[in-house]
Structure 1
């Protein structure tokens, strides 16, 4: 006998489209419905649902008990996620005050995706005590799920160069052109093309994750190769001509700490455009050989 799930999988495209449209129609709720639903979930619907039979004191106690239960569930979930991602690494003893602050904050993290990030914070601190500052935890606490997504986009585009390991967002290259090379020209990288417009940068600056001033490196000399790193790949870039400089935004110390938790993940399209830009002004090489492009 054909099961219900098998029958659903065999629906024609028209039936599937109709079903989706019907589902979409029924999933649209009014603002009154949403308010009532949220109020019920948080035990504050007494004046909306007038058929209740509890006193104000009883309702208050019930709400507090439910909050405590959810907080307990949040902490248990975060510790379980951390436990599942720990292996046999050598671990240290986190500071008791750090653990106290962590649990005070983490108990109010309800989003599953944010709970995963908080489990990474805990894992990092257990493996390397002192690596996650209280300031970074507070900044992370203030981040919504959307903020975390914006910051992750920035991390996908981050590089670092020279002897400085701080993550940076490269925005372009400045070079000399024109008569006697006296006129400065700029080749820009359009970060907005990679879902990171300037308005989003401003939000990350407001969160204290990226410093607000666009910086310029010193003028690079053609005789001196510069170490350049993008998402775990190491290169040397050597200017084809003297006087080229890099334009960039720097991650803040707190942004750097949080970025380390996310690991190295590249944006393939950005890497192609970054390569094209670098190859216009530099000889790009790896340890093995000189080549174009760096992918």
Structure 2
């Protein structure tokens, strides 16, 4: 593999574009042929979707000609999607890039996977991935690309909500979402119901169906995770976005509960712009107040 050391991120992207579809011109496409329709006009929407699919019935064309027309429209739409993502990636490219080139097999699969990505918000995610891969080849695995391919815009919104609630720890940088704890049961705790506590994440923007959908596409592990028994005196070093949160376990045999991101989910998370959810952080601290002494 030939290494190029003097190219900027945008120049390297232009090289990749030229190798893929024979041009280095990456202008945002503005010739979309989607027909606008009035909301609630079923017939007009049906006609618009039929036109976009190439399935419009025309008495002047034979069945074979209509099939050829549909295939041609599909190819044009795929090319439009590919070039749109390439153009967006230009905006995210940095001047500082690694000496190593993007793996050609990775890039080929990337191009194939984005052909059907028409949603503008999803195109931005794919563009950020390409720009990130150019800056640091090997940053995004093929497994992550295939997970993102399965993601709908609705699931992307769920990932955004999850990102807003995510912590990292000094011991394990893989993000996680804390929601409860368990203490070793005793007669008093069983009678008083104080041996466990759970936070309702739905109150802070992340519903249980959203959690299940992120599990289904492989961005969260398929079950709740337990930390294992933490002894009294155990130090907690958490990072919540730009804020460090430190605490000390002050109860015996404590087990923290959380949802943990998979490797694919952890790769995608930095692409999102997170917003601090201070109500969630405050509620989590209040929930854990009986077992964790938080620093000021």
Same fold (TM over 0.5): yes
Q: Distance in 1 between matches of 2:267 and 2:134?
A: 15
Residue 176 of structure 1, CA deviation: 5.4
Residue 182 of structure 1, CA deviation: 7.9
Q: TM-score, normalised by structure 2?
A: 0.78
Residue 249 of structure 1, CA deviation: 1.7
Q: Distance in 2 between matches of 1:241 and 1:131?
A: 40
Deviation readout 1:208-263 (Å, 9 max, x if unpaired): 21112212112323333121121232232112333322111211222222223225
Could you say which residue in structure 1 is the equivalent of 2:48? Answer: 37
With a CA cutoff of 8 Å and minimum separation of 6, indicate the structure with the bigger relative contact order: 2
Q: Higher Cα Rg: structure 1 or 2?
A: 1
Mapping 1:263-274, distance limit 5 Å: 264-274=274-284
From 248, 253, 263, the counterpart of 1:253: 263
Residue 178 of structure 1, CA deviation: 6.2
Does the 8 Å contact 2:233/2:250 carry over to 1?
no
Deviation readout 1:162-193 (Å, 9 max, x if unpaired): 51111112121223576676876112111121
Gaps of 5+ in 2: 1-37
Q: TM-score, normalised by structure 1?
A: 0.78
Does the 8 Å contact 2:129/2:140 carry over to 1?
yes
- Please tell me whether residue 136 in structure 1 is matched to residue 148 in structure 2: no
Q: Distance in 1 between matches of 2:121 and 2:188?
A: 55
CA pair 180-36 structure 1, distance change in 2 beyond 3 A: closer
Could you say which residue in structure 2 is the equivalent of 1:110? Answer: 118
From 173, 182, 201, the counterpart of 1:165: 173
Residue 265 of structure 1, CA deviation: 3.4
**Per the alignment, in what secondary structure is the counterpart of residue 195 of structure 2?**
strand
CA RMSD of the aligned region, Å? 2.3
**Per the alignment, in what secondary structure is the counterpart of residue 178 of structure 2?**
strand
Does the 8 Å contact 1:176/1:182 carry over to 2?
no
Does the 8 Å contact 1:278/1:284 carry over to 2?
no
Deviates more, 1:202-211 or 1:171-180: 171-180
Residue 104 of structure 1, CA deviation: 0.6
Residue 268 of structure 1, CA deviation: 2.9
- Please tell me whether residue 206 in structure 1 is matched to residue 213 in structure 2: no
From 34, 39, 42, the counterpart of 1:27: 39
Residue 137 of structure 1, CA deviation: 0.6
Could you say which residue in structure 1 is the equivalent of 2:34? Answer: none
Mapping 1:9-24, distance limit 5 Å: none
**Per the alignment, in what secondary structure is the counterpart of residue 27 of structure 1?**
coil
**Per the alignment, in what secondary structure is the counterpart of residue 270 of structure 2?**
helix
Mapping 1:153-232, distance limit 5 Å: 153-175=161-183, 185-232=195-242
- Please tell me whether residue 65 in structure 1 is matched to residue 72 in structure 2: yes
Q: Distance in 1 between matches of 2:221 and 2:49?
A: 37
**Per the alignment, in what secondary structure is the counterpart of residue 199 of structure 1?**
helix
Deviation readout 1:96-116 (Å, 9 max, x if unpaired): 000000001112110001000
Residue 36 of structure 1, CA deviation: 2.5
Does the 8 Å contact 1:232/1:264 carry over to 2?
no
